[in-house]
Amino acid sequence: MNTKAEFLSDLCDFLYPRSPYYGQFKPEYLAFNANLQDFSQRVNYICGLQTNGKISPEEAYKQIHHLWKHLKHTKKALDIS
């Protein structure tokens, strides 16, 4: 029988899937890839909320714009050209 920790781990894997990184290995590239996957997952949730009428298009735009700014800031902080 699954323990509570295993259940939460499986749930986390389901809600926040991650794909392996196959690009050139540099720590900054790996960190940016993790941030990019997080950005993608969050945008997907926001789109779903907007499509189902839970948030307005304006609110969805604001949230996605904020996430985009954060991703750009991360790219600059990691010094990726």
Whether 81 is covered by a domain: the verdict is yes
pLDDT at residue 7, rounded to an integer = 76
Whether 35 is covered by a domain: the verdict is yes
State the total domains in the chain. Answer: 1
**CB-CB neighbours of 38 under 10 Å:** 16
pLDDT of residue 36 exceeding 70, the answer is yes
Whether 54 is covered by a domain: the verdict is yes
Q: Give the span between the Cα atoms of 14 and 79, in whole angstroms.
A: 31
Cβ atoms of residues 31 and 78 within 8 Å = yes
pLDDT of residue 32 exceeding 90, the answer is yes
pLDDT at residue 9, rounded to an integer = 74
Helix axes 27-51, 57-77, angle to 10 degrees: 180
pTM greater than 0.85 (yes/no): no
**Residue 50's domain spans which residues?**
25-81
